[in-house]
Amino acid sequence: MTLLNAIVQGIFLGAFYAVLACGLSIMFGVMRIINLAHGDLAVLGAYLTFVIVEGAGVSAFVAFAIALPVMLVLGYLLQVTVLGRSLKAGLLTPLLATFGLSIVIQNLLLIAFSPDVRSLGGSAGAFTTASWQLTSELSISALGVLVLVVAVIVFGALQLFLSYTPAGWAMRATAEDPEAAEIVGIDSKAVYARATAIAVAIASLGGLFLAIRSVFEPTSGPTQLIFAFEAVVIGGMGSLWGTLVGGIALGLAQTLGAQLHPQFSVLAGHLLFLSVLVARFGGGRLTLRIAR
Amino acid sequence: MTLLEVDELDCRYGLLQAVRGVSFGVAQGEIVALIGANGAGKTTLLRAIAGAHRPYAGRVRFDGADVTRLPAHRRVSLGVALVPEGRRLFPSLTVEENLRVAAVKNRPGQWNVGSVLDAFPLLQPRRKMPAANLSGGEQQAVAIGRALMSNPSLMLLDEVSLGLAPIVVDAVYASLQSVINEGATVILVEQDLTRALRVAGRVICMLEGRVVLQGDSKSLDRERVVDAYFGLRRSAAGEASA
């Protein structure tokens, strides 16, 4: 029964990682940008929600609904002002630009909010702690179910957007061949800006879940980035559904690892990530080298 | 009426000068064939007209407006469409998605998914298939159809017969002929001289980035074109272009 419980909790945790990883996957899939500031953008979203909660006294979910459009616009502007320019200088420059952006966001948050640890758990209502006790050893938390449902809705909506809308086709076309897309009349810069806006908005959704599930501080971003990055790699770079599967696989590895030993949790996730890396890339390179 | 005017165009890749001071005009309804050996600058010239290559110097005027600095996607909405070398389809998109993605809102006209599929009946059974799974001829048909989706007033066709079996080339040109008959203005790059002279009303021959010979395809005899093509009797060719 504890094993079943670990699996259920692993899926819930994994859905959270998948939401965090979703934007990272979009930005890599569409623009080949590895956004090292992704975790910090998620935390920034959490802080924005926190400010609205404090200022307006509304619940965390209402506050997030107000923060979401702000984060969308922020993502759009980020692409137009920083990332778009850095993309012109090759693939390495966006990596450095987002690395710098990560430091800038963390320090601005430190200045504005101090290093104090915060949480939105209290302002999300009784919902945060509600659960269904199925048996003595298995309980399903309402928040876990919410995160899972939202994750499936987010990935499903993105899939529908990419498959059935003109803007979605334009995004896939631009991802495959930006120059050919320009030639057929697609404004690739606008597509990139839209993709980044969506990615940042979903990142802030991940930030909201982080803030409700546990606590956050100005330097929480990089840890979240690592989990998100691992989810993307486990699921296959640039594949949307793969990212959802990868996130859940990472969550399962962590909760199952914790069954062996409490300290083994995060390590088990890293080991899964490393073994996927070796299986997918390392092995191939190794045989190539031997062949030479 | 002159639809396209290229004036002293100069295109470079770093230090390599691919197009050197090329000037010519294309009138509405004209079919112009651009010929020349590999590396003569034909593809670069087409790409510069379409906006995919930013010229180093010179001007491109389209429909009376200077479009030299306009990005490619804005030129599409003015009516320029390029069928690029190597087709450049979106491999994971289906045939229909490849066509739909190229539709331009502000350019209504006879071309839509239905009429393109009518013009290229071989695509009808393939419409739900990813473009990557098509044969070369089918891919070329999609590439041409995709360019038509914007209802262009100027079509730029870059080596549409490259890598295709002769019988498929015939089929592609047969469907192109129907497009041409509608009164479209076309600039095409074609390696097959006989075909180029037959389809086009005017021929522009390029050598090492320069126009060395141009004229009505009827008035030019094959010999002179071949000479210009290979750069034989260069002084004579130079006089012809002057």
Residue A2, Cβ density class (10 Å: 0-12 exposed, 13-18 middle, ≥19 buried): exposed
Query: For residues A185 and A52, is the Cβ–Cβ distance under 8 A?
Result: no
- Dist. CA B35–CA B237, nearest whole Å: 14
- What does DSSP say about strands B65-66 and B16-27: parallel, antiparallel, or unpaired? unpaired
Query: For residues A168 and A32, is the Cβ–Cβ distance under 8 A?
Result: no
- Dist. CA A113–CA A94, nearest whole Å: 28
Quick check: B92 and A180 CB within 8 A? no
- Dist. CA B240–CA B234, nearest whole Å: 10
Closest Cβ–Cβ partner in B76, B91, B93 for A169: B93
Site from A30, A183, A186, A191 to mutate, B interface, most B CB atoms within 10 angstroms: A183
Count: domains in chain B: 1
Q: What are phi and psi of B31, to 5 degrees?
A: -115, 115
- Mean predicted confidence (pLDDT) in A27-49: 96
CATH number at residue B183: 3.40.50.300
Q: Does domain A2-291 have CATH number 1.10.3470?
A: yes
Quick check: B76 and A183 CB within 8 A? yes
By three-state DSSP, how is residue A100 classified?
helix
Domain boundaries, position B209: 2-241
Quick check: B147 and A184 CB within 8 A? yes
Query: For residues B52 and B210, is the Cβ–Cβ distance under 8 A?
Result: no
Q: Chain B within 8 Å of A187 (Cβ-Cβ)?
A: yes
Structure confidence at residue A161 (pLDDT):
96
Site from A184, A186, A189 to mutate, B interface, most B CB atoms within 10 angstroms: A184
- Dist. CA A4–CA A245, nearest whole Å: 19
pLDDT digits (tens, 9 = 90+) for A222-248: 999 999 999 999 998 878 899 999 999
Structure confidence at residue A1 (pLDDT):
64
Q: Chain B within 8 Å of A241 (Cβ-Cβ)?
A: no
Structure confidence at residue B234 (pLDDT):
53
Q: What is the 3 state secondary structure string of B111-153?
A: CCHHHHHHHCHHHHHHCCCEHHHCCHHHHHHHHHHHHHCCCCC
Q: Tell me which residue of A215, A249, A236 sits closest to A15, measured CA to CA.
A: A249
- For chain A, give the mean pLDDT: 92
Residues of chain A neighbouring B70 (CB-CB closer than 8 A): none
- What does DSSP say about strands B2-13 and B57-62: parallel, antiparallel, or unpaired? antiparallel
pLDDT digits (tens, 9 = 90+) for A58-76: 999 999 999 999 999 999 9
Each residue's pLDDT, cut to its tens digit, for chain B (242 residues) gives 799 999 999 999 999 999 999 999 999 989 999 998 888 999 999 999 999 999 999 999 999 999 999 999 999 999 999 999 989 999 999 999 999 999 988 888 889 999 999 888 889 999 999 999 999 889 999 999 999 999 999 999 999 888 788 888 888 888 788 777 877 899 999 888 888 888 899 999 999 999 998 888 888 877 788 888 777 755 444 444 43
Size of interface A-B (CB pairs under 8 A): 66
Q: What is the DSSP letter of A235?
A: H
Q: What is the DSSP letter of B220?
A: S
Quick check: B73 and A179 CB within 8 A? no
Residue A60, Cβ density class (10 Å: 0-12 exposed, 13-18 middle, ≥19 buried): buried
Residues of chain B neighbouring A183 (CB-CB closer than 8 A): 50-52, 72-73, 76, 81-82, 84, 88
Minimal Cα–Cα distance from A187 to chain B, Å? 6
CA distances from A213 to A119, A163, B184 (A): 8, 33, 62
Q: Chain B within 8 Å of A185 (Cβ-Cβ)?
A: yes
- Dist. CA B95–CA B87, nearest whole Å: 13
The DSSP element (H or E) to which B94 belongs, if any, is none
Quick check: B89 and A180 CB within 8 A? yes
Length of chain B: 242
Query: For residues A282 and A233, is the Cβ–Cβ distance under 8 A?
Result: no
Q: Chain B within 8 Å of A167 (Cβ-Cβ)?
A: no
Crossing angle of helices B166-181 and B136-148, rounded to 10°: 10
Q: Chain B within 8 Å of A8 (Cβ-Cβ)?
A: no
Instruction: Write out the two tokens for A143.
Output: 């928040």
Residues of chain B neighbouring A239 (CB-CB closer than 8 A): none
Cα B96 to chain centroid distance, Å, stands at 23
Q: What are the counts of helices (DSSP H) followed by strands (DSSP E) for chain B? A: 9, 10
Quick check: A184 and B76 CB within 8 A? yes
- Dist. CA A94–CA A29, nearest whole Å: 14
Query: For residues A228 and A199, is the Cβ–Cβ distance under 8 A?
Result: no
The DSSP element (H or E) to which B203 belongs, if any, is strand B202-207
Closest Cβ–Cβ partner in A172, A177, A186 for B73: A186
Helix spans in chain B (H): 42-50, 72-78, 95-100, 113-119, 136-148, 166-181, 193-199, 222-230, 234-241
The residue behind tokens 């393939």 is B126
Crossing angle of helices A2-31 and A240-260, rounded to 10°: 150
Crossing angle of helices A142-164 and A188-213, rounded to 10°: 170
Query: For residues A247 and A21, is the Cβ–Cβ distance under 8 A?
Result: yes
Q: Chain B within 8 Å of A166 (Cβ-Cβ)?
A: yes
Q: Chain B within 8 Å of A183 (Cβ-Cβ)?
A: yes
Cα A33 to chain centroid distance, Å, stands at 14
Quick check: A183 and B90 CB within 8 A? no
- Give the confidence band of A285 by pLDDT, cuts at 50, 70, 90: low
Crossing angle of helices A38-56 and A60-78, rounded to 10°: 140
Closest Cβ–Cβ partner in A166, A176, A187 for B73: A187
Q: Tell me which residue of B77, B41, B170 sits closest to A183, measured CA to CA.
A: B77
Structure confidence at residue B180 (pLDDT):
79
